[in-house]
Amino acid sequence: MESSHQSKYTIVKFGIIIIILAIILRLFIIGFFKVPSDSMSPTLNAGDRVVVAKCKNFIGFPPSFPLLGVTDSPWRFRYSAFSRNDIIAFLHATEEHNQQVYVKRIVAIPGDTVSLNDTSLNIRSSTINSAIRFEDANRLYQRFEGSFVVPGKGDNIKIDSRTIQIFKQFIESEGTRIDILNDIVYINGNPQNFYTVKNDCYYVLGDNYNNSYDSRYFGFIPENCIVGTPFMIIWSKSDEGIQWNRIGKLID
């Protein structure tokens, strides 16, 4: 009889350990995301389900946590920097103020100069000078035309009632309140001409340039909003049915 109780206790203990490990795995190691559109086609198509590595660049808490919701300052240690051409999953506030997960490719990193017009995006730095061209029809998405430098952590950027429109969304994503009154910019209630950036920021595009809602519309993505790096398609289903040839495909 005692042996039976001992066996039940062992099974329960083993089950609890498995549950705890599964929770840790899900919260800190990997995540899952269904691609909603073809903005990253052909790399990712609508209907793809991808695995996101949350610990490839960070150790610590994700930007969104069960019960606690979204946090502007997740506690985590970055041991590997993001680079141009990395694909990232990140939280972004929609115009309806709902947080959604997006997947895009980094095309510019802190210190890069980005120049955007109707049909092209130019990226310049000490090591790169490249241009991405797209159809004029895509200007429907564009809000931030002109030339600007992608900010990094600790940078002091000059702000006024005009330039704040470029920086407003990422500043608010860092947990800072922005108000504009009589052409004066107020940060957390205080009038300011400069803002010190809290996170490295990135400029992202969809691989399907002509049909992508990305940094051309919503500006920079601060690092505190990044969930992780998608690395594999684990399931894929389109209107034509299951896409067997895409299942197990590594993402790059």
Residue 164 lies in a domain: no
Residue 20 lies in a domain: yes
Best CA proximity match to 249, nearest among 232, 237, 236, 235: 232
Residue 132 lies in a domain: yes
Residue 101 lies in a domain: yes
CATH assignment of the domain containing 83? 2.10.109.10
Best CA proximity match to 234, nearest among 47, 95, 98: 47
Q: What is the pLDDT of residues 112-140, one digit of tens each?
A: 999 988 788 899 988 888 888 887 655 55
Q: What is the pLDDT of residues 22-35, one digit of tens each?
A: 888 888 888 899 99
Write the CB contacts of 152 (distance below 8 Å, at least 6 apart in sequence).
110, 111, 197, 200, 201
Residue 168 lies in a domain: no
Residue 182 lies in a domain: no
Give the range of the structural domain holding residue 50, as residue numbers without chain letter: 2-155+197-246
Residue 177 lies in a domain: no
Residue 230 lies in a domain: yes
Task: Compute CA distances 52 → 49, 84, 101, 143, whole Å.
Answer: 10, 18, 11, 29
Q: What is the pLDDT of residues 71-103, one digit of tens each?
A: 777 888 899 999 999 999 998 876 554 678 899
pLDDT of residue 2: 53
Into how many domains does the chain fold?
Answer: 1
pLDDT of residue 139: 56
